[in-house]
Amino acid sequence: MDSIWAFGIEITHFLQGLGSWLSAPMKFFTFFGNEEFYMLVMPALYWCLDATLGFRIGLMLVISGSLNSMAKLLFKSPRPYWVDKQVVAYSSEHSFGMPSGHAMNATSVWGLFATSLKKKAVTITAILLILLIGISRIYLGVHFLSDVLAGWLLGSLLLLLYIHLEKPITAWVKNLPFRRFVMYMFLIALAMIALNAAIIRLNLNWQIPVQWVEISTITDPSGEIDTMSLDGTITNAAIFFGFSTGVMWIKRNGDFNTKGILVKKIVRFVIGLTGVLLLWAGLGTLFPRDANFLGYTLRFIRYALAGLWISAGAPLVFKKLGLVENK
CA-wise closest residue to 61 among 37, 81, 85: 37
How far is 318 from 313, CA to CA, in rounded Å?
A: 9
Give the model confidence (pLDDT) of 196-250 as tens digits: 889 888 887 888 888 887 788 877 776 676 667 788 888 889 999 999 999 999 8
Output the pLDDT for position 284.
65
CA-wise closest residue to 132 among 37, 31, 211, 260: 31
Residue 34 lies in a domain: yes
The number of beta carbons lying within 10 Å of the beta carbon of residue 204 is: 7
Say how far residue 138 (Cα) sits from the centre of its chain: 19
Flag residues of the chain having pLDDT under 70.
1, 222-223, 225-227, 283-285, 287-291, 326-327
Residue 263 lies in a domain: yes
How far is 236 from 238, CA to CA, in rounded Å?
A: 6
Output the pLDDT for position 288.
66
How far is 232 from 36, CA to CA, in rounded Å?
A: 13
Output the pLDDT for position 118.
87
From residue 251, alpha-carbon distances to 95, 165, 176, 178 in Å are 37, 20, 13, 11
Output the pLDDT for position 325.
73
Which helix (H) or strand (E) segment holds residue 129: the answer is helix 120-139
Residue 327 lies in a domain: no
CB 72 within 8 A of CB 143: no
Q: Which one-letter amino acid corresponds to residue 163?
A: I
Residue 326 lies in a domain: no
Which helix (H) or strand (E) segment holds residue 34: the answer is none
154 Cβ contact list (under 8 Å, min separation 6):
67, 68, 71, 99, 104, 107
39 Cβ contact list (under 8 Å, min separation 6):
276
CB 292 within 8 A of CB 230: no
From residue 98, alpha-carbon distances to 36, 57, 206, 269 in Å are 21, 23, 17, 35
Structural domain of residue 288, as residue ranges?
A: 2-320
291 SS3 class: coil
Q: Which one-letter amino acid corresponds to residue 51?
A: A
How far is 200 from 217, CA to CA, in rounded Å?
A: 24
Residue 219 lies in a domain: yes
CB 242 within 8 A of CB 248: no
Residue 325 lies in a domain: no
CA-wise closest residue to 206 among 75, 315, 113, 87: 75
How far is 40 from 37, CA to CA, in rounded Å?
A: 5
Number of domains making up the chain? 1
How far is 297 from 62, CA to CA, in rounded Å?
A: 18
The 10 Å CB-count burial string (b at 16+, else e) for 117-151 is: eeeeeebeebeebbbbbbbbbbbbbbbbbbbbbbb
How far is 28 from 136, CA to CA, in rounded Å?
A: 9
